[in-house]
């Protein structure tokens, strides 16, 4: 058994910690947009609330159905009691504001019943919730009328009672009298056959069915025969808080009801536009939209210009410690929560008309940095502010804007916007107005609304049509379309504004209705080519869908960047005589989704990629999912196969376990927007994979040898070719590379909680399975297998291994093992791909015994107290045996080994312990194929060699040597986060090639992180007596002054050898990047070796938060550090470092496109030449064509430790 000589490059991170100096800093792995254009700039979320009294209409207008769950302030699964007091000798419901509210008594039964001694929370939501309450539930968590640290009471929206025009008392259209025909004693404590419910002001009136017909708020008569109750409920106390995560958020010692504003207010800038209450529909002098709360940060953190550095914010609208409102800030939560009750002298007062299009246009003027169209009074009769003049809300040219417009049945008189032409109707609001030429193309609302009608295909004359009871125009759709595809400001960038819109029309909001707001959602941000409801449409007829839509909009604003900024991730593949193909994944970070497609491609004469149309797009069908069951044995993810603990994870508090499993399998009928849908809506069934990688597994590699390996390869010549990709839906997806069908998916046991939570409507798009994977042919207990191993990234601490030898039989053979911090508390989060290594573990009868292992580090944040274990600050390399049976437990020193790595801190670090992590190490095999050495850098710039030439147990201290410390010209340490590449060095030992820099968390893009970074080639002669090297022992290479590419210059390099080690020799070379203080240039991806050259890409995120990120590609001679000219001759002054648009998300793909070998000389040597095309993942449509220098063929005096034949063959399968 002898493998070919190899070097395996593995994803390996070390978290190194000092014990006595302070707490170990964590590394933030939650953001997927680090380094992308505009990612540091907090987006604007502007809420356009086009509300009249109709917004306070009943949320539920159908008959009560006990089996249906009605969302609202009351917990549908709880039973409530209400206090009574003695009055005139009778016991009556308490109406004192300090004590009168419903509170939880006990859980309800499975039919939401309460047994006759209390009120069903489900029933109370149906009986009393208004549409405005549903909006508040989603946006702010509800209107708090009591807001103390340990007591919170929410109140239903205050309904008009006739004093301000409209009277909602038993109003047939807005809040009808409701009847409970049966089950009264199940849903309430009343003993009557039928129950009548009337909503009045902030009260619920109960009366015996047929008797409760007449009355008014002042004199309800028999309508309140069973009592008048304040429509208030205590929520999120110490008992309910942890059981109701949909509404309640934990603070330090208490819980508070929160909505999207609180969950995302720490990053987003949020503001509100509304109407003037005093404006009647016939008044043409008071215009339709006013600023109620300016765009601003609401939480305890704000971002300071110009670099957007976070800072504590003393004017937050709520306390970061308790969640209690402070009364400070811009007034967003105050306006949303108190509209309708803010005027103490006239409660129940709402705007009399809602000119939607005019409101939308005014909000667009605000985002343009302009002033209002017309002057308005600052003091109005609702007691809430109207802000003038306006302060420009844009803080950066690339800032994204999300406009959410909500309208009700009062929308009317909204045609006075630029470009309008009168419709010859008796409508004082239907006046002509000139085109707005502030930007190009100009805003002509008639033309843009007409364009929307044309896109719909069947709405000719849309610009003249009216909609709804109030006769509102469709101009809002034209405004949304124009602002989405146009630049808002002269010289600005189009496409930075996205619209969400929704109708609060519970009684007639049919899915087929075409309304101005539905079209605004479709053409202002989401065209939804499938013909269904746009995902940006907030469907008021379905409160669950409305809440989910609001949450999705805020999540997209918080986590997303525009699709063009995310960039594709490419993997080039081919197969023998077949054409070449690209497998491309395109991220949609805003929606935590991704498309995966296969495209034919060719390389043009200049090396550029010429791609064809997609042959397939994955993620369109259902998939079987497998997960570890008892004793680690693989089972299908089916309800009947799960044990009690697994079922409880999926079932949660709502009993939707079966639906959640089907959701993960790809079922979409229970998504919000579908009839009865309650789960998070998706644009596709593949989660985003911002940091993962595509792993192609085809015919077994040619680059392996050993007993029976040839037979193994022969038997698998025709096996199904597969793509594997981990994603942030918690699944490792196995996709047929030929057809795009998903054969299976794997859900690690450690990610069950996260996968189940991903179906929730308030899922926050955090990392799940965003670790990279690797595959290899390995020998396990005497049998060759194809094994795939993946870290779980930020989703969980650990990794898993699968047998993918035969994907058709994955259900029977697929599970090998999982290893997490439950098995060893030193394990952390692993993002980089694991590695495979064969180690000599013992000897028998004079012959060595080998064993195959997976090699990983303890990863990021391994000392974080995550309730599994809290370890003392430590770091380790783990060797995990591939032959461990699934049912066997992990035993240190038996089936896994853990080696400690020393801590070396940066000098002068007085503030505390710096975050530390080892980069993925390169593994070097000896002559017998067993692991001999590992090389790895760390965040402090240290480059380590670890010696595995001895057998286990490996010594923690004796096996390590610090080879090199990377520092810039001023002596500042430079982080190493990439995998070192290793080539055979001149003379003896190895040449280690790597770059410096870090781009993992948001702080890496701050100005303080834009420090000088470099490329290095360091010679290690394996001497134990050699000192730790520095840049002083290397030969400098310098870059010229240029923009597109650089000339590389420097003195001749003479390496040390056994005979000569004088002052003139050097132990390698280095190259410093130019202008890093402005460009932030750094090297974060592993280099690639080919034909004596090293290919580095670097990323340039830029100091300016709006800078378009860029990539540079350096092609350098391995030994000298010089570039090659156009014919491949290496020399000083040759050009490299080509500047490319876009942020590289992976190492370059180096494709050999041409090679030639000359005739052999008498000594047996010949010259060969190779030509390569370099495709850069993450940089759309760009390739670089390079030629290698003349290479010695036939006989080699030195060579790279890399099997380029295997690389090339793998790229062809």
Q: Using DSSP, state whether 484 is helix, strand or coil.
A: helix
Q: Is the pLDDT of residue 1156 over 90?
A: no
Q: Is the pLDDT of residue 509 over 60?
A: no
CA distance 680 to 759: 5
- CB neighbours of 644 closer than 8 A, spacing ≥ 6? none
Q: Is the pLDDT of residue 343 over 70?
A: yes
Q: Is the pLDDT of residue 577 over 60?
A: no
pLDDT given at position 950: 81
H-only helix segments in 758-889: 810-813
Condensed to tens digits (0 to 9), the pLDDT of residues 753-784 reads 999 999 988 888 789 999 999 999 999 988 99
Structure tokens belonging to residue 324: 């209690």
Q: Is the pLDDT of residue 1192 over 70?
A: no
Nearest to 64 by CA among 121, 134, 23: 121
Q: What is the mean pLDDT of the chain?
A: 85
Please write down the HEC assignment for all residues of 296-346.
Answer: EECCCEEEECCCCEEEECCCCCECCCCCCECCCCCCHHHHHHHCCCCCCCC
Kind of pairing, strands 625-628 and 742-746? parallel
CB hemisphere CA count around 1122 (13 angstroms): 16
pLDDT given at position 372: 92
- Using N-to-C axis directions, what is the helix angle for 644-651 and 657-664, rounded to 10°? 80
pLDDT given at position 19: 30
Q: Is the pLDDT of residue 22 over 70?
A: no
What would the mean pLDDT of 377-396 be, rounded to a whole number? 84
Residues 859, 860, 863, 867: what is their CA dihedral angle, to the nearest 10 degrees?
Answer: -100
Q: Is the pLDDT of residue 463 over 60?
A: yes
* pLDDT tier, 470 (very low <50, low <70, confident <90, very high otherwise): low
* pLDDT tier, 1 (very low <50, low <70, confident <90, very high otherwise): very low
The label of the residue with tokens 């709880």 reads: 78
pLDDT given at position 6: 27
Q: Is the pLDDT of residue 689 over 60?
A: yes
CA distance 409 to 468: 7
Q: Is the pLDDT of residue 909 over 90?
A: no
Nearest to 799 by CA among 918, 873, 890: 890
Contact 815, 886 (CB under 8 A): yes
DSSP line for 251-310: -SS-EEE--HHHHHTTT-EEEEEE--TT--TT-SSS-S-EEEEEEEE-SSEEEETTTTEE
Beta bridge partners of 892: 896
Q: Is the pLDDT of residue 134 over 90?
A: yes
* pLDDT tier, 603 (very low <50, low <70, confident <90, very high otherwise): confident
What would the mean pLDDT of 108-137 be, rounded to a whole number? 97
Please compute Rg for the chain using Cα positions.
33
pLDDT given at position 791: 95
Higher pLDDT, 1148 or 1049: 1049
Kindly state the percentage of the chain with pLDDT values over 70: 86
- CB neighbours of 287 closer than 8 A, spacing ≥ 6? 355, 358, 362, 372, 373, 374, 376, 416
Omega before residue 953 within 30° of 0, cis: yes
pLDDT given at position 774: 95
Q: Is the pLDDT of residue 11 over 90?
A: no
User: Among 286-290, 378-382, 627-631, 1010-1014, which stretch is predicted with the lowest mean pLDDT?
Assistant: 378-382
Q: Is the pLDDT of residue 968 over 90?
A: yes
Q: Is the pLDDT of residue 911 over 50?
A: no
Q: Using DSSP, state whether 977 is helix, strand or coil.
A: coil
Q: Is the pLDDT of residue 167 over 80?
A: yes
Structure tokens belonging to residue 479: 């405004």
CA distance 793 to 772: 8
Angle 573-585-535 (CA atoms, 0-180°, nearest 5)? 155
CA distance 294 to 287: 19
- CB neighbours of 461 closer than 8 A, spacing ≥ 6? 450, 453
Residue 454 dihedral angles phi and psi, to the nearest 5°: -65, -40
Residue 280 dihedral angles phi and psi, to the nearest 5°: -75, 160
- Greatest mean pLDDT among 529-543, 757-771, 808-822, 831-845 lies in 808-822
Q: Is the pLDDT of residue 27 over 50?
A: yes
What would the mean pLDDT of 1070-1089 be, rounded to a whole number? 95
CA distance 1012 to 1075: 8
User: Among 115-124, 410-419, 506-515, 570-579, which stretch is predicted with the lowest mean pLDDT?
Assistant: 570-579
Q: Is the pLDDT of residue 985 over 60?
A: yes
- Using N-to-C axis directions, what is the helix angle for 445-456 and 516-523, rounded to 10°? 80
* DSSP summary character for residue 993: E
CA distance 351 to 274: 9
Contact 893, 801 (CB under 8 A): no
Task: Give how far Cα 1065 sits from Cα of 78, 1003, 1055, Å.
Answer: 80, 39, 5
Q: CA torsion sign, 394 to 397 to 400 to 401?
A: positive
Q: Is the pLDDT of residue 682 over 50?
A: yes
DSSP line for 552-591: HHHHHHHH---HHHH-EEEEEEE-TTSPEEEEEEEEEGGG
What would the mean pLDDT of 282-292 be, rounded to a whole number? 69
Kindly state the percentage of the chain with pLDDT values over 90: 56
Contact 74, 102 (CB under 8 A): yes
CA distance 285 to 360: 18
pLDDT given at position 896: 94
Structure tokens belonging to residue 414: 């909204």
> Burial code of 609-626, b = ≥16 C-beta within 10 A, e = fewer?
bebeebebebbeeebbbb
Condensed to tens digits (0 to 9), the pLDDT of residues 29-77 reads 888 888 888 889 999 999 999 988 999 999 999 999 999 999 999 999 9
Higher pLDDT, 1105 or 1056: 1105
Residue 961 dihedral angles phi and psi, to the nearest 5°: -145, 135
pLDDT given at position 466: 82
Higher pLDDT, 873 or 1080: 1080
**pTM, 2 dp:** 0.90
pLDDT given at position 426: 54
Condensed to tens digits (0 to 9), the pLDDT of residues 305-340 reads 999 999 999 899 999 999 999 998 889 999 999 999
Higher pLDDT, 384 or 703: 384
Q: Is the pLDDT of residue 277 over 90?
A: no
Contact 11, 832 (CB under 8 A): yes
């Amino acid at each position: 058994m002898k493998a070919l000589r190899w070097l395996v490059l593995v994803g390996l991170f070390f978290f190194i910690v000092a014990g006595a100096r302070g707490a170990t800093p964590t590394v933030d792995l939650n953001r997927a947009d680090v380094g992308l254009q505009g990612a540091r700039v907090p987006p604007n979320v502007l809420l356009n609330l086009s509300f009249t009294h109709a917004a306070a209409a009943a949320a539920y207008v159908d008959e009560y159905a006990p089996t249906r769950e009605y969302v609202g302030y009351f917990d549908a699964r709880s039973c409530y009691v209400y206090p009574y007091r003695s009055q005139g000798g009778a016991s009556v419901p308490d109406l004192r504001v300090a004590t009168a509210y419903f509170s939880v008594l006990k859980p309800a039964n499975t039919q939401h019943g309460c047994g006759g001694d209390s009120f069903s929370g489900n029933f109370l939501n149906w009986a009393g919730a208004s549409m405005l309450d549903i909006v508040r539930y989603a946006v702010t968590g509800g209107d708090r009328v009591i807001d103390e640290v340990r007591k919170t009471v929410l109140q239903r929206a205050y309904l008009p009672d006739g004093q301000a025009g409209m009277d909602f008392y038993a109003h047939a259209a807005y809040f009808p009298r409701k009847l409970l025909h049966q089950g009264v004693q199940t849903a309430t404590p009343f003993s009557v056959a039928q129950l009548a419910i009337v909503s009045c002001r902030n009260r619920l009136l109960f009366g015996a069915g047929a008797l409760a017909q007449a009355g008014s708020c002042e004199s309800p008569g028999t309508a309140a025969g069973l009592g008048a109750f304040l429509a208030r409920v205590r929520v999120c106390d110490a008992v309910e808080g942890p059981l109701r995560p949909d509404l309640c958020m934990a603070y330090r010692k208490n819980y508070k009801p929160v909505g999207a504003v609180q969950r995302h207010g720490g990053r987003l800038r949020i503001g509100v536009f509304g109407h003037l209450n005093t404006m009647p529909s016939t008044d043409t002098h008071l215009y339709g939209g006013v600023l109620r709360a300016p765009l601003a940060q609401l939480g305890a953190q704000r971002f300071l210009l110009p670099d957007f550095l976070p800072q504590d914010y003393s004017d937050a609208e709520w306390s970061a410690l308790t969640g209690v409102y402070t009364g400070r800030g811009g007034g967003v939560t105050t306006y949303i929560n108190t509209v309708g009750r803010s005027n103490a002298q006239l409660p129940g007062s709402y705007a009399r008309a809602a000119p939607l299009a005019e409101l939308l246009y005014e909000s667009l003027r605000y985002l343009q940095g302009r002033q209002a169209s017309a002057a308005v009074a600052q003091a109005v009769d609702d007691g809430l502010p109207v802000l003038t003049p306006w302060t420009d809300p844009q803080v950066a040219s690339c800032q994204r804007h999300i406009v959410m417009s909500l309208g009700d049945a009062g929308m009317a008189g909204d045609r006075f916007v630029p470009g309008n032409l009168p419709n010859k109707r008796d409508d004082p609001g239907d006046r002509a107005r000139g085109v707005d030429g502030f930007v190009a193309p100009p805003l002509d609302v008639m033309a843009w609304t007409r364009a929307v009608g044309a896109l719909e295909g069947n709405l000719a004359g849309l610009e003249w049509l009216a909609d709804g009871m109030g006769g509102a125009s469709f101009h809002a759709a034209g405004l949304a379309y124009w602002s989405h595809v146009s630049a808002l400001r002269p010289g600005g960038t189009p496409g930075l504004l996205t619209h969400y819109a929704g109708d609060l029309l519970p009684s007639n909001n049919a899915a087929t209705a075409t309304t101005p707001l539905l079209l605004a959602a479709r053409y202002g941000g989401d065209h939804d080519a499938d013909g269904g409801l746009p995902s940006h449409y907030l469907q008021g007829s379905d409160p669950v869908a409305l809440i989910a839509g609001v949450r999705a909009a805020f999540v997209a604003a918080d986590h997303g960047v525009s699709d063009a900024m995310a960039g594709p991730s490419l993997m080039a593949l081919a197969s023998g005589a077949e054409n070449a193909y690209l497998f491309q994944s395109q991220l949609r970070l805003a929606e935590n989704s991704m498309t995966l497609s296969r495209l034919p491609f060719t390389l043009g004469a200049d090396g550029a990629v010429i791609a064809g149309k997609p042959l397939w797009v994955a993620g369109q069908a259902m998939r079987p999912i497998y997960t570890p069951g008892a004793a680690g044995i693989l089972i299908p993810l089916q309800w009947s196969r799960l044990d009690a603990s697994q079922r409880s994870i999926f079932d949660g508090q709502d009993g939707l376990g079966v639906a959640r499993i089907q959701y993960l399998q790809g079922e979409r009928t229970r998504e919000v927007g579908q009839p009865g849908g309650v789960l998070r809506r998706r644009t596709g069934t593949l989660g985003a994979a911002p940091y993962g990688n595509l792993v192609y597994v085809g015919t077994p590699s040619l680059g392996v040898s050993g007993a029976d390996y040839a037979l193994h390869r022969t038997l698998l010549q025709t096996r199904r070719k597969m793509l594997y990709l981990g994603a942030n839906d918690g699944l490792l997806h196995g996709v047929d590379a030929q057809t795009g069908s998903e054969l299976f998916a794997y859900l690690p046991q450690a990610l069950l909680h996260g996968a189940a939570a991903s179906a929730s409507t308030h899922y926050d798009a955090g990392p799940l399975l965003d670790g990279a994977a690797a595959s290899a042919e390995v020998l396990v207990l005497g049998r060759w297998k194809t094994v795939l191993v993946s870290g779980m990234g930020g989703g969980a601490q650990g990794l898993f291994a699968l047998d993918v030898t035969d994907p058709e039989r994955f259900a029977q053979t697929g599970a090998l093992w999982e290893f997490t911090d439950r098995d060893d508390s030193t394990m952390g989060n692993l993002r980089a791909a694991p590695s495979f290594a064969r180690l000599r573990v013992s000897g028998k009868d004079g012959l060595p015994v080998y064993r195959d292992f997976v090699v990983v580090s303890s990863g990021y944040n391994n000392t974080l107290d995550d309730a599994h274990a809290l370890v003392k600050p430590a770091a380790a390399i783990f060797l995990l045996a591939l032959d461990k049976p699934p049912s066997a437990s992990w035993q240190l020193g038996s089936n896994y080994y853990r080696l400690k790595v020393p801590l070396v801190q940066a000098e002068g670090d007085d503030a505390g312990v710096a975050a530390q992590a080892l980069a993925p190490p390169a593994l070097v095999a000896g002559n017998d194929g067993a692991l001999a050495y590992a090389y790895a850098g760390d965040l402090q710039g240290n480059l380590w060699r670890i010696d595995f030439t001895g057998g286990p147990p490996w010594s923690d201290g004796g096996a390590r040597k610090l080879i090199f410390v990377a520092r810039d010209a001023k002596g500042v340490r430079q982080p190493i986060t990439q995998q070192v590449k290793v080539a055979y060095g001149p003379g003896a030992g190895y040449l280690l090639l790597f770059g410096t820099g870090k781009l993992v968390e948001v702080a890496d893009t701050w100005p303080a992180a834009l420090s000088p970074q470099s490329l290095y080639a360091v010679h290690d002669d394996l001497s134990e007596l050699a000192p730790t090297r520095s840049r002083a022992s290397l030969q400098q290479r310098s870059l010229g002054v240029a923009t597109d590419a650089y000339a590389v210059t420097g003195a001749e390099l003479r390496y040390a050898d056994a005979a000569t080690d004088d002052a003139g020799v050097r132990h390698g070379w280095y190259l410093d990047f130019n202008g890093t203080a402005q460009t932030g240039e750094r090297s974060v991806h592993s280099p690639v070796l080919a034909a004596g050259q090293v290919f580095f890409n670097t990323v340039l995120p830029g100091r300016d938060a709006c800078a378009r990120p860029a990539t540079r590609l350096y092609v350098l001679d391995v030994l000298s550090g010089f570039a090659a000219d156009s014919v491949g001759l290496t020399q000083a002054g040759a050009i490299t470092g080509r500047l490319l648009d876009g942020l590289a998300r992976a190492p370059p793909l180096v494709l050999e496109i041409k090679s030639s070998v000359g005739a052999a000389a008498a000594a047996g040597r010949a010259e060969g030449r190779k030509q390569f095309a370099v495709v850069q993942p993450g940089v759309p449509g760009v390739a670089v064509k390079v030629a290698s220098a003349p290479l010695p063929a036939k006989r080699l005096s030195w060579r790279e430790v890399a099997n380029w034949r295997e690389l090339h063959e793998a790229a062809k399968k």
